[in-house]
């Protein structure tokens, strides 16, 4: 019994020892936590002191900047960067952003870019930093990088109107820069390098001046040696209220891979009855053969025979046998049908307009189709919600006259409706290279860029 009692006493002693150790551990843990809290308070006080000093210098720089004292502003900002521990300041990115703005005001664009870059490195989602970077890159002549910077700015702040305007301005500068060698050297556009421009430059200029509305004017009767549609005819109907340049786009169309306009035609898969790849290849081959025959006939000085189905189309147009393809009667009938199509388009009878333009095209000899017919029919197809057919007509228009900007704007409208935004952007830019003052195309390009932004189609900077 005494032995059992001694054992119980030893067990109680062990329990008291365990309790003493537990209390000691808890005390040590409390002391450790208190030391950590104290260290955190000290660290926070240091950070707050650094932040206050940095903010004090930054606000002093802001005040000097507002007063136009750029030297003093830069001195204050540099003092903010020189504060001990400034690299730990949460507002350091704002100092670099403001320094970028001051250097921009001084037009020291290299320094402005460097500080904007540091700003974006410190805070990767700060839209204003990318905006400042885009401005500096633009002034440094690095237009492609500038475009990317503005695109990232808009990704973080899609409603930033200044960035949207700046992005469009850079896009237009690129267009103007690219247009200088082409227009100065009278070179062919790259998109349709194989097409031939009209031989008579004066007639081509007259034709461009005659085209003032969204539905193009009909071509006047021309001599056999002239390019079809080269001279202006009677005045056409005024533009319709629903302009094809700004018409609403279909709600849903698949996005196709960008081709840049010079690669083989892609396979369209839209809801408006697009051709299959095989059918497109056959159609392209047929068009190429027709164009080759037209070129050979032009060299021989002979009249090109009408394409398959042309005679029947001519006979069906007025109930009489079709006269020769180059006769004044045919040319008069083509003009009449085009005027009818223009009136139908103005009256929003788009199916009738397509029918009239189709009949007019069928009456024309191969290689003699005025580009206005394809342009007008492309606009009508857009209104009917058939962008793939509109694109085919726009491509035909550009192939006939690659120096006429309206063909590229029609191509841009069709590609925009197909949600092929990058190709649409290229088409609009090409139209602006040929006609830099066209405000309708500028508006369409702006809408295309906005659509790309909303669709998240831009690449990272």
- The answer to whether position 265 is within a domain reads yes
How far is residue 439 CA from its own chain's centroid?
16
Residue 117 has pLDDT above 90, yes or no: yes
Residue 76 CB contacts under 8 Å (≥ 6 apart), including other chains: 57, 58, 60, 61, 64
What pLDDT shows up at residue 292?
53
Residue 119 CB contacts under 8 Å (≥ 6 apart), including other chains: 93, 94, 96, 97, 100, 126, 129, 132, 133
Tokens 């919600």: give the residue: 385
State the burial class of residue 227 (Cβ atoms within 10 Å of its Cβ: 0-12, 13-18, 19+): buried
- The answer to whether position 316 is within a domain reads yes
Give the CA distances from residue 97 to residues 49, 88, 119, 140, in Å, rounded to whole numbers and listed in that order.
22, 16, 6, 18
Return d(Cα 17, Cα 10) in angstroms, integer: 11
- The answer to whether position 211 is within a domain reads yes
pTM above 0.75, yes or no: no
- The answer to whether position 424 is within a domain reads no
**Main-chain phi, psi angles of 166, to 5 degrees:** -65, -40
Domain harbouring 352, CATH code: 1.25.40.10
Higher pLDDT residue, 133 or 267?
Answer: 133
| Contact assessment for residue 54 and residue 83, using Cβ atoms and an 8 Å cutoff | yes
What pLDDT shows up at residue 405?
92
Number of independent structural domains in the chain: 1
- The answer to whether position 358 is within a domain reads yes
Residue 184 has pLDDT above 60, yes or no: no
- The answer to whether position 203 is within a domain reads yes
Residue 125 has pLDDT above 50, yes or no: yes
Q: What percent of the chain has pLDDT over 70?
A: 65
Element spanning 87, H or E: none
* pLDDT tens, position by position, 287-326: 555 455 444 434 433 333 333 333 333 333 333 333 344 5
Return d(Cα 258, Cα 447) in angstroms, integer: 18
Least confident of 149-163, 172-186, 234-248, 270-284: 234-248
What pLDDT band is residue 185 in, cutting at 50, 70 and 90? very low
Mean pLDDT of the 190-214 span = 34
* pLDDT tens, position by position, 55-103: 889 999 999 988 889 999 999 999 999 888 888 888 899 999 999 999 9
Return d(Cα 40, Cα 405) in angstroms, integer: 67
- The answer to whether position 351 is within a domain reads yes
- The answer to whether position 43 is within a domain reads no
Domain housing 363: 198-419
Residue 151 has pLDDT above 70, yes or no: yes
């Amino acid at each position: 019994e005494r032995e059992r009692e001694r054992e119980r006493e030893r067990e109680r002693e062990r329990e008291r020892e365990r309790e003493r150790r537990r209390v000691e551990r808890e005390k040590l843990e409390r002391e450790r936590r208190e030391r950590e809290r104290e260290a955190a308070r000290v660290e926070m006080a240091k950070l707050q002191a650094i932040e206050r000093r940095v903010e004090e210098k930054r606000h002093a720089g802001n005040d000097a900047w507002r007063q136009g004292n750029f030297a003093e502003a830069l001195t204050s900002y540099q003092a903010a960067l020189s504060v001990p521990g400034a690299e730990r300041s949460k507002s350091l990115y704002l100092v670099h952003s403001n320094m970028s703005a001051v250097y921009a005001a001084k037009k020291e664009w290299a320094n402005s870019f460097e500080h904007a870059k540091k700003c974006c490195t410190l805070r990767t989602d700060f839209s204003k930093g990318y905006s400042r970077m885009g401005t500096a890159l633009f002034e440094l002549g690095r237009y492609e990088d500038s475009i990317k910077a503005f695109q990232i700015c808009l990704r973080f702040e899609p409603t930033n109107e200044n960035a949207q305007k700046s992005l469009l301005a850079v896009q237009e500068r690129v267009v103007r820069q690219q247009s200088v060698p082409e227009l100065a050297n009278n070179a062919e556009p790259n998109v349709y390098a194989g097409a031939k421009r009209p031989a008579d430059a004066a007639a081509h200029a007259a034709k461009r001046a005659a085209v003032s509305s969204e539905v193009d004017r009909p071509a006047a009767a021309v001599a056999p040696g002239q390019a079809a549609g080269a001279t202006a005819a009677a005045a056409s109907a005024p533009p319709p209220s629903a302009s094809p340049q700004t018409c609403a786009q279909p709600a849903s169309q698949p996005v196709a891979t960008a081709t840049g306009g010079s690669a083989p035609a892609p396979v369209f898969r839209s809801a408006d009855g697009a051709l299959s790849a095989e059918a497109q290849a056959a159609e392209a081959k047929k068009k190429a053969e027709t164009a080759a025959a037209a070129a050979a006939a032009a060299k021989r000085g002979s009249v090109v025979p009408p394409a398959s189905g042309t005679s029947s189309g001519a006979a069906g147009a007025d109930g009489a046998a079709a006269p020769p393809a180059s006769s004044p009667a045919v040319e008069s009938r083509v003009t009449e049908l085009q005027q009818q199509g223009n009136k139908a388009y103005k009256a929003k009878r788009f199916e009738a307009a397509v029918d009239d333009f189709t009949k007019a095209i069928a009456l024309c000899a191969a290689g003699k189709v005025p580009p206005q017919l394809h342009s007008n029919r492309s606009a009508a197809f857009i209104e009917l919600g058939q962008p793939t057919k509109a694109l085919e007509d726009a491509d035909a228009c550009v192939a006939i006259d690659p120096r006429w900007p309206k063909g590229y704007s029609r191509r841009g409208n069709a590609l925009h409706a197909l949600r092929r935004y990058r190709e649409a952007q290229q088409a609009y830019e090409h139209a602006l290279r040929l006609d830099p003052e066209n405000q309708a195309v500028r508006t369409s390009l702006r809408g295309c860029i906005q659509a790309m932004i909303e669709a998240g189609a831009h690449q990272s900077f």
